[in-house]
Structure 1
Amino acid sequence: MSEYVAPAVLLRRAFDAVLSEGVRPFLRSRGFAKSGRTFRRTRGPVVDMINFQGNKWNSVTPHHGFFVNVGVGSSEIDAAYNAQRKDGTSPTSAGYILETRWESLVPDAPKEVTFDETTDMINFADMLCTNLDRVLAVIDPIDTTAALAQWAISNKSLHRMARTCSYLAVIGDTESLTHYVSIARERFGDSPRWPVVGREICDATGAAGRSLQDQGLLDQPVRPKAAPLVDRENRADTGG
């Protein structure tokens, strides 16, 4: 008598099989290596990531669903950001500047990809690879750190903005840095979040951040108010 296997388990196995046997050969041919359900590729300082994230409800649905996450980061941006940190904390881990779901890069790609026991898995794998090829057509041109920073500016993406600002400050691209911070100021300038965002940018950009303060793009630091003269006299009289 064969052991009973829950349908959700069978679908999860089918999912892992399509990643290993269908998706892996395609992405390997494009330079990616597989680790679990994540594929990574290094192009000089640029690091690409494609991750297949299962839907948390897969154990109770008649189908198996997942989302496709895409990331592009740079070791040069990470190094610039960590070098600027003056707070004594340990260097931070790598961060993707472009980090999104595949449907934002390929608009007609499915937001959630699903299949069930009736799905033709060969055709399903072909569909995944076709859409992944279209994703790569978007991220492949982002092949340098400078191109990644310009992608963030051109798309007005403020994800991990302090990292990108730090890199622009380090390479001395004040024009791009000023434009990028102007985008953030326009979006968050009237928000209660702005003091926090502005302080993070200033801390990440060093001397360039102080120049941005002088230009009015970042707020000047708030200094403690001096005690009124009468209070200082009273403290002096009491030995305080």
Structure 2
Amino acid sequence: MSDLKEKFNLLVKESISPFLKSAGFKKAGLNYYLHLNDLVMVINLQKSHGNSFEELKFYVNFGIHSSSIDEVLGLPTNHKPKEHECYYHNRIHPMATDSFLITSATSINLLFEELISTLKTALTKSESIKSTTDLADLMIENNGLYKRKELCLYLLLSSNDERLKTYVQLLHEKFKEDQRWAKIENSTNEMLAAHKRNYKMKDIIK
């Protein structure tokens, strides 16, 4: 095992795992899970594919999943989702870069302090997400096109038409000049018709 891998493993064992455990997370490989009512918070450590003997880069990914959305969409309940399977996901990182870096010159203590500070900031922001409704609002504000169909279907099936209209308006503001917009509009209209809504996209964004 290289010195860099040893440093990474030490960082996980002695720093990241104890901190996340104290916050209520349970470890499964390089994933950490916190269950809160119908929500699952996920923190994932992802090593870069471009690592070498000179440097080891890794990312800290964050996701939020909902068993209630699974249920409404008729999907199997996923109690241990991968971060990329979550209905919301984001990357936790320092201000200057999207990753953390370990080299032979890296001070593990300083890196630990930077990691914990970044994790604390992310967990503090996530404290306001206590229900699937909170998660849906977070998705509306931040997801863009990620999990678009799932979010639209969930809002339709749970009769959250006003939230759906807000989401569509935000999508239009951001993607109306995008070459994909026509397909987005058509597929959304198909969902509206399939669920017997008496309005179309043009009525929302007029």
- Quickly name the TM-score band, shorter chain normalised: 0.7 to 0.9
What is the alpha-carbon root mean square deviation over aligned residues? Answer: 2.8
Gaps of 5+ in 1: 84-90, 219-240
Identical aligned residues as a percent: 27
* Partner residue in 2 for 1:30: 23
Q: Which has the larger radius of gyration?
A: 1
Q: Is 1:193 aligned to residue 180 of structure 2? A: yes
Can you list the C-alpha shifts for 1:146-177, whole angstroms capped at 9, x where unaligned? 00111122346332122222222222221111
Say if 1:100 and 1:212 are closer, same or farther in 2 by CA, change over 3 A.
farther
* Partner residue in 2 for 1:82: 74
Mapping for residues 97-108 of structure 1, pairs under 5 Å: 97-103=87-93, 108=95
Say if 1:191 and 1:128 are closer, same or farther in 2 by CA, change over 3 A.
closer
* Partner residue in 1 for 2:10: 17
Superposition TM-score, scaled by structure 2 size: 0.81
| Structure 2 counterpart of 1:40, from 26, 33, 48 | 33
How far apart are the structure 1 equivalents of 2:48 and 2:201? 48
* Partner residue in 2 for 1:178: 165
What SS does the corresponding residue of 2:129 show, helix, strand or coil? coil
List structure 1 segments (4+ residues) > 4 angstroms apart after TM superposition. 91-94, 202-209
Superposition TM-score, scaled by structure 1 size: 0.71
Contact 2:88/2:143, CA 8 A, preserved across alignment = no
Say if 1:46 and 1:25 are closer, same or farther in 2 by CA, change over 3 A.
same
Q: Would you say how many aligned residue pairs link Structure 1 and Structure 2?
A: 200
Contact 1:166/1:205, CA 8 A, preserved across alignment = no
Say if 1:209 and 1:19 are closer, same or farther in 2 by CA, change over 3 A.
farther
Say if 1:188 and 1:209 are closer, same or farther in 2 by CA, change over 3 A.
farther
How far apart are the structure 1 equivalents of 2:11 and 2:176? 47
Mapping for residues 206-217 of structure 1, pairs under 5 Å: 208=195, 210-213=197-200, 216-217=203-204
**Residue 54 of structure 1 aligns to which amino acid in structure 2?**
K
Mapping for residues 108-187 of structure 1, pairs under 5 Å: 108=95, 110-155=97-142, 157-187=144-174
Shift of 1:46: 1.1
How far apart are the structure 2 equivalents of 1:206 and 1:79? 22
How far apart are the structure 2 equivalents of 1:173 and 1:74? 16
Gaps of 5+ in 2: none
How far apart are the structure 2 equivalents of 1:132 and 1:192? 37
| Structure 1 counterpart of 2:55, from 63, 67, 79 | 63
Shift of 1:79: 2.3
How far apart are the structure 1 equivalents of 2:13 and 2:107? 16
**Residue 41 of structure 2 aligns to which amino acid in structure 1?**
D
Say if 1:190 and 1:129 are closer, same or farther in 2 by CA, change over 3 A.
closer
* Partner residue in 1 for 2:65: 73
**Residue 153 of structure 1 aligns to which amino acid in structure 2?**
I
How far apart are the structure 2 equivalents of 1:158 and 1:214? 16
Say if 1:201 and 1:74 are closer, same or farther in 2 by CA, change over 3 A.
farther
Say if 1:48 and 1:209 are closer, same or farther in 2 by CA, change over 3 A.
farther
Say if 1:45 and 1:30 are closer, same or farther in 2 by CA, change over 3 A.
same
Can you list the C-alpha shifts for 1:77-114, whole angstroms capped at 9, x where unaligned? 2222337xxxxxxx6976323212113xxx62642211
What SS does the corresponding residue of 1:159 show, helix, strand or coil? coil
How far apart are the structure 2 equivalents of 1:209 and 1:58? 52
* Partner residue in 1 for 2:44: 51
How far apart are the structure 2 equivalents of 1:35 and 1:199? 41
